[in-house]
Amino acid sequence: MAVIADRCPEIQVAVVDINQARIDAWNDADLSRLPVYEPGLDVVVGRVRGRNLHFSTSVEEQIALADMVFISVNTPTKSKGLGAGQASDLRWVEACARTVAQAAAGHTIVVEKSTLPVRTAAAIKTILEAAQQQDGQQRTFSVLSNPEFLAEGTAIRDLEEPDRVLIGGDDAAATEALARIYGHWVDAAKILRTNLWSSELSKLAANAFLAQRISSINSIAAFCEASGADVREVARAIGTDSRIGPKFLNAGPGFGGSCFQKDILNLVYLCRHFALPEVADYWESVVTLNTWQQHRIAQLVVQKLFGTVTGKRLAVLGFAFKADTNDTREAPAIRICGDLLEEGAQLAIHDPKVVPAQMARDLKQEAAEAADALNGTGSWALAQSVEEAVAGADAVLILTEWRQYQQLNWQELAARMRRPAWVFDARAVVNPEAVRAAGLTLWRVGDGEG
Ligand code: UDX
């Protein structure tokens, strides 16, 4: 919405939420304290906030004023009930649809921005149409699907220069109204129009294909480690085939983030619902491989450290699910650290952006100083710097590809560690020669020569 406001000065954009604290944070005079860390977002918000971008809790009031309402709420995986563990939890989407139904005035275009299961628009339409008939007032609705393809960390660039914008719907006038907004800065040829169901499914399918590439390269990484090949050489060799392409072929600790796992599980659930069990199994294996990769990395750390990490100090560099974000949703670090805590390790965790309260929530354990190191109870503590993290450590684990981890002074760090000392580079960001020259033993994901 900040980018829309920036590119369309004549449009008033109101962002509303029922959470007062969240809205206050978006209105914070100090732009470095916005609730989402995203490179460049502070600049855009600083430029448009108060001009044509407004944050408030006046939900009903703003809906009544709006010509177009974007539903942009969470659709996490259901944790209980029918479809638990796979289906999307639509309670917030439905609550929004009901609020819009009650509060809207005149004609309102309702845009699904949240990622939704296929045919959700039908439910939204039914709720809206029921309100239309309910009190005899003059209100009408059009429903569009307009999924978001931005990736975190590059959100502003992805929005300003999208590969495509997708608009699904059967109301031509509504579709064109939304296309005109994007037309302020996006090439007409990049604005794709489809029916509602294709649009909803395209979002799930795009994420499934992207995640599948990561599981594919991670499966090959494991094979490389076993066979003496190097996954980066293999990735380059296959990525130069123009049909495959070079992007999204970085082996790592497995994908994280709020979308990939959730969307694939949702797709799996829908496939089963539509009696396509083979298709469901096919996509589910992408998630299974991803989970396996995370456990595999924790296991090999234990194995290389003489079969036990009980009481050992391990420096964990990176907790976010990728660089340039403070988001930890489904971060591989959660499962890997969880396994190591279970093994009794003492973790010193460093991340440039993730706050310790978030780490405590994710690890389901408060930070604590290591008590009796050999009693078998794992513990973790925040490290303010990489130097602090590695002090006295037996091993360093790199789990997020933050730029600063690519330029570490290994001679200096090695001097602070307990020997024999290891570096486990799950993102392949370090310079292998520099690590080895510092007398450290290196394991790199997908490196069969290590
Ligand atoms: C993703 C999609 O890219 C985006 O289009 C969609 O709108 C939302 O989901 P996001 O989750 O923000 O975006 O990040 P992305 O860059 O796709 O990375 C997802 C995960 O895959 C991260 O954990 C990342 O580290 C990992 N990844 C990515 C790899 O392990 N290897 C790669 O080559 C690329």
Report pLDDT for 373. 67
Beta strands in 136-234 (DSSP E): 139-145, 165-168, 191-194
Give Cβ neighbours of residue 296 (< 8 Å, ≥ 6 apart): 222
- φ/ψ of 396, rounded to 5, equals -115, 130
Q: Buried b vs exposed e over 177-189: b needs ≥16 C-beta within 10 Å?
A: bbbebbeeebeee
Report pLDDT for 124. 93
Signed CA dihedral, 167, 168, 172, 175: sign only: negative
* Nearest protein Cα to ligand 1, atom 34: 248
- Distance, CA 151 to ligand 1 centroid (Å)? 6
* Nearest protein Cα to ligand 1, atom 26: 255
**Which of 38, 148, 152 is the best mutation target for the ligand 1 pocket, counting ligand atoms within 8 Å of the beta carbon and taking the most?**
152
**Domain boundaries 2-198, CATH class:** alpha beta
d(CA 66, CA 133): 20
Q: What is the pLDDT along the chain (450 residues), one digit of tens a residue?
A: 999 999 999 999 999 999 999 999 999 999 999 998 899 999 999 999 999 999 999 999 999 999 999 999 989 999 999 999 999 999 999 999 999 999 999 999 999 998 888 889 999 999 999 888 666 678 999 999 999 999 999 999 999 999 999 999 999 999 999 999 999 999 999 999 999 999 999 999 999 999 999 999 999 999 999 999 999 999 999 999 999 999 999 999 999 999 999 999 999 999 999 999 999 999 999 999 999 999 999 999 999 999 999 999 999 999 999 999 999 999 999 999 999 999 999 999 999 999 999 999 999 999 997 766 677 889 999 999 999 999 999 999 999 999 999 999 999 999 999 999 999 999 999 999 999 999 999 999 999 986
CATH 3.40.50.720 range(s) for the chain read 2-198, 199-450
- Distance, CA 332 to ligand 1 centroid (Å)? 12
Report pLDDT for 269. 95
The DSSP H or E segment spanning 190 is none
Q: Hey, how many other C-beta atoms are within 10 angstroms of the C-beta on 206?
A: 17
Looking at domain 199-450, which CATH architecture does it have? 3-Layer(aba) Sandwich (3.40)
- Which residues make beta-bridge pairs with 194? 168
Residue 259 designated active-site: yes
Spatial CA neighbour of 334 closest among 291, 374, 301:
291
Instruction: Report residue 40 as tokens.
Output: 């460049």
d(CA 197, CA 373): 56
Ligand 1 pocket, residues with Cβ under 6 angstroms: 148-152, 207, 210, 214, 248-250, 252, 255-257, 259-260, 321-322
For residue 58, what are the CA distances in angstroms to 21, 62, 308? 14, 6, 56
- Distance, CA 131 to ligand 1 centroid (Å)? 39
* Nearest protein Cα to ligand 1, atom 13: 151
Angle (nearest 5°) at CA 369 between 367 and 370: 115
The DSSP H or E segment spanning 236 is helix 231-239
For residue 406, what are the CA distances in angstroms to 333, 354, 396, 442? 18, 18, 13, 14
Catalytic residue of the set 8, 96, 259, 271: 259
Report pLDDT for 240. 98
Spatial CA neighbour of 403 closest among 422, 427, 382:
427
Q: Do residues 383 and 389 make contact, with C-beta atoms less than 8 angstroms apart?
A: yes
Q: Which atom of ligand 1 is nearest to the CA of 259?
A: 9
- Distance, CA 320 to ligand 1 centroid (Å)? 12
Report pLDDT for 449. 83
Spatial CA neighbour of 312 closest among 226, 418, 439:
418
Q: Which atom of ligand 1 is nearest to the CA of 155?
A: 12
Give Cβ neighbours of residue 331 (< 8 Å, ≥ 6 apart): 256, 257, 319, 320, 321, 362, 399, 400
Task: Provide the 3-class DSSP secondary structure of residue 284.
Answer: helix
